[in-house]
Amino acid sequence: MIKSKSFLFVAAFAVVFAAATVAGLYLDRKTLELPEPGEEWFDTDGRRINAHGGCILEHDGTYYWFGEHKSDTTHLAMVGVTVYSSKDLNRWKYEGVALSVDDADSDSDIRKGCIMERPKVIYNRNTGKFVMWFHLELKGEGYLSARSGVAVSDNVTGPYRFLRSGRINPGILPADFTEKDKALLDTLDPENFIVESVHDDNTPQWREAVASGLYLKRDLAGGQMARDMTLMVDEDGTVWHIYSSEENLTLHIAELSDDYTSHTGRYWRMMPGGLNEAPAVFRHNGKYWMITSGCTGWAPNAARLFSADSITGPWRQHPNPCRGKGADVTFGGQGTFVLPVGRQFVFMADIWRPECHSDGRYMWLPISFDDGTPYLEHHIIH
Strand order in the sheet with 361-370: 334-341, 344-351, 361-370, 373-376
For ligand DGJ, give the closer residue by CB, 171 or 297: 297
Q: Which of residues 200-239 bind ligand DGJ (CB under 6 A)?
A: 228
For ligand DGJ, give the closer residue by CB, 22 or 299: 299
Answer yes or no whether residue 69 interacts with ligand DGJ by CB under 6 A. Answer: no
Q: Out of 69, 70, 118, 217, point to the residue binding ligand DGJ (CB under 6 A).
A: 118
Answer yes or no whether residue 247 interacts with ligand DGJ by CB under 6 A. Answer: no
Q: Per DSSP, which regions of the chain are E strands?
A: 52-59, 62-68, 80-86, 93-100, 115-124, 129-137, 147-153, 161-166, 229-233, 239-245, 250-256, 263-270, 277-284, 287-293, 304-308, 316-318, 334-341, 344-351, 361-370, 373-376
For ligand DGJ, give the closer residue by CB, 293 or 368: 293
Q: Which of residues 258-287 bind ligand DGJ (CB under 6 A)?
A: 277-278
Cα 379 to the center of its chain, rounded Å: 23
In angstroms, give the least distance from the CB of 134 to ligand DGJ: 11
Size of the site for ligand DGJ (CB under 6 A): 9
For ligand DGJ, give the closer residue by CB, 117 or 377: 117
CA atoms of 278 and 295, how far apart (whole Å): 9
For ligand DGJ, give the closer residue by CB, 360 or 374: 360
Answer yes or no whether residue 117 interacts with ligand DGJ by CB under 6 A. Answer: yes
For ligand DGJ, give the closer residue by CB, 228 or 246: 228
CA atoms of 377 and 326, how far apart (whole Å): 9
For ligand DGJ, give the closer residue by CB, 255 or 350: 350
For ligand DGJ, give the closer residue by CB, 43 or 117: 117
In angstroms, give the least distance from the CB of 354 to ligand DGJ: 8
In angstroms, give the least distance from the CB of 336 to ligand DGJ: 8
Phi then psi for residue 94, to 5 deg, are -70, 125
Answer yes or no whether residue 245 interacts with ligand DGJ by CB under 6 A. Answer: no
Helices first, then strands: H and E counts in the chain: 5, 20
In angstroms, give the least distance from the CB of 298 to ligand DGJ: 5
User: Shortest Cβ contact with ligand DGJ: which residue?
Assistant: 297
Q: Out of 334, 339, 357, 366, point to the residue binding ligand DGJ (CB under 6 A).
A: 334
Q: What is the DSSP letter of 176?
A: T
Answer yes or no whether residue 332 interacts with ligand DGJ by CB under 6 A. Answer: no
Buried b (16+ CB within 10 A) or exposed e, 274-296: bbbbbbbbbbbeeebbbbbbbbe
Contact 285, 372 (CB under 8 A): yes
Answer yes or no whether residue 297 interacts with ligand DGJ by CB under 6 A. Answer: yes
Q: Out of 94, 177, 193, 298, point to the residue binding ligand DGJ (CB under 6 A).
A: 298
CA atoms of 27 and 341, how far apart (whole Å): 10
Contact 215, 243 (CB under 8 A): no
Q: Which residues pair with 304 in a beta bridge?
A: 292
Residue 314, preceding peptide bond in cis (omega within 30° of 0): yes
Name the nearest CA neighbour of 147 among 128, 162, 161: 162
In angstroms, give the least distance from the CB of 47 to ligand DGJ: 23
For ligand DGJ, give the closer residue by CB, 136 or 346: 136
The contact set with ligand DGJ (CB under 6 A) reads 53, 117-118, 228, 277-278, 297-298, 334
